[in-house]
Amino acid sequence: MIDFDDGAKRYVKSYEIISQSYLEADQNVMAQTQDGYFDRGIIKRLIKKKKTGKLGYIVEKNGKEKWYPLRFISLTHEQAEHLPIVNNNTEGNEFLLNDQFDY
């Protein structure tokens, strides 16, 4: 049983769980909007907000970039199939972090 950030609970098969610290730049994702819907986008970079210290992704949708908290990003099965996972090792993803960026 998985408890999701939005309070939902669901049984998930073990092969559906991806253990990865951060997603790579140019990864296609689903970004949750304020109204609760999900739109397709592309990760551009991972940044930490100066004021709050919160991590999030800059996601490009329709040519515009916007910051999303990590918990607002998800993947479809199709998008997850393209993840560069090797032995569940997440080393090398640090290059995305543009520390202390205002958004």
User: Could you give the percent of the chain with pLDDT greater than 70?
Assistant: 80
7 pLDDT above the threshold of 70: yes
Residue 74 sits in a domain whose CATH number is: 2.30.30.30
In a domain, 49, yes or no: yes
69 domain residue, yes or no: yes
Please check whether residue 63 lies inside any domain of the structure.
Answer: yes
State the number of CA atoms in the 13 A half-sphere of 35 facing the CB: 2
Q: Are 40 and 61 in contact (CB under 8 A)?
A: yes
Name the domain count of the chain. Answer: 1
Range of the domain at 75: 22-84+92-101
Q: Is the pTM of this model over 0.85?
A: no
Asked, for residue 12, whether it belongs to a domain, the answer is no
Using pLDDT thresholds of 50, 70 and 90, give the confidence band for residue 31.
very high
Q: For residue 2, is it within any domain?
A: no
How does pLDDT run across 35-83, given as a tens digit for each residue?
A: 989 999 999 999 999 999 999 999 999 999 999 999 899 898 888 887 7
